[in-house]
Copies of this chain bind each other. A is one copy, B any other.
Amino acid sequence: MYEIGVVYRNIARADRAAADRLAAFGSATVHEALGRVGLLKPTIRAIYGGAQVSGTAVTVLLQPGDNWMLHVAAEQIQDGDIVVAGVTAECSDGYFGDLLATSFKARGARALVIDAGVRDVRVLAGMGFPVWSKCISAKGTVKATLGSVNVPVVCAGALVAPGDVIVADDDGVVCVPAARAAAVADAAAAREANEGAKRAKLTAGVLGLDMYAMREPLAKAGLRYVD
């Protein structure tokens, strides 16, 4: 249950170095390294392709059709943050456009993840300010009702606490608990370490069946080949 009408100014951000390291692994590898939890639903998509970022979450709880709290959140942004916004009810309005993006960027934000719509998407792409959103809509919002900033929020089905690390790319968005950022980065690095060798083998035509020694477990599971 949400706390409404509160702005927490002091949040425990994940270790900066760990947060920054996570971007390079991408959401898929980080999600694996984290034990397959923390993924936002694939209903959240990048508004333009190719961006790959990580950063510490400043969270925002919005009311439907009302983007007032995004302005409040701007003041809480520090360099290296990613703003993550949930809404208290389903809404497809365009909460965020080029002016807010200009402000967020000036404050040091790296991206926005929002479980609602955004607009001015061509301008946002031109500015290089990446956004992951539920939809795109020209419909604006009002500034009338309080939500909160830096309370835990649900965004696209995932729970995001302020200070958690967000990793986002074309595959999706994953949330890493602040306390586990460094460990997850290490685990992700370990996963990647032997991928080069695997890729070389597969390129040479070696089958995953052999490389991963799957033939025996498949036979044991009863797989039958018919000529």
Which of A's residues lie within 8 Å of B, judged by CB? 1-2, 4-10, 26-28, 30-32, 34-39, 41-42, 45, 49-50, 52, 64-65, 68, 71-72, 74-75, 88-94, 97-100, 102-103, 106-107, 117, 119-122, 135-140, 143-146, 152, 154, 157-161, 164, 169-177, 180, 195, 198-199, 202-205, 207-209, 212, 214, 218, 221-227
When distances are taken between beta carbons in the complex, the residues of chain B under 8 Å from A52 are: 122
- In the complex, what distance in Å separates the CA atom of A9 from the CA atom of B224? 10
When distances are taken between beta carbons in the complex, the residues of chain B under 8 Å from A198 are: 99
- In the complex, what distance in Å separates the CA atom of A161 from the CA atom of B154? 13
- In the complex, what distance in Å separates the CA atom of A99 from the CA atom of B8? 39
Least distance between A63 CB and chain B CB atoms (Å) = 8
**Copies of this chain assembled into the complex:** 6
- In the complex, what distance in Å separates the CA atom of A23 from the CA atom of B41? 32
When distances are taken between beta carbons in the complex, the residues of chain B under 8 Å from A100 are: 208
Residue of B93, B103, B106, B225 near A7 (CB, 8 A) is B225
- A160 and chain B: residue at smallest CB distance: B1
User: Are the CB atoms of B203 and A106 closer together than 8 Å?
Assistant: yes
When distances are taken between beta carbons in the complex, the residues of chain B under 8 Å from A6 are: 223-226
Least distance between A226 CB and chain B CB atoms (Å) = 5
When distances are taken between beta carbons in the complex, the residues of chain B under 8 Å from A64 are: 64-65, 91, 93
User: Are the CB atoms of A38 and B1 closer together than 8 Å?
Assistant: yes
When distances are taken between beta carbons in the complex, the residues of chain B under 8 Å from A212 are: 71, 143
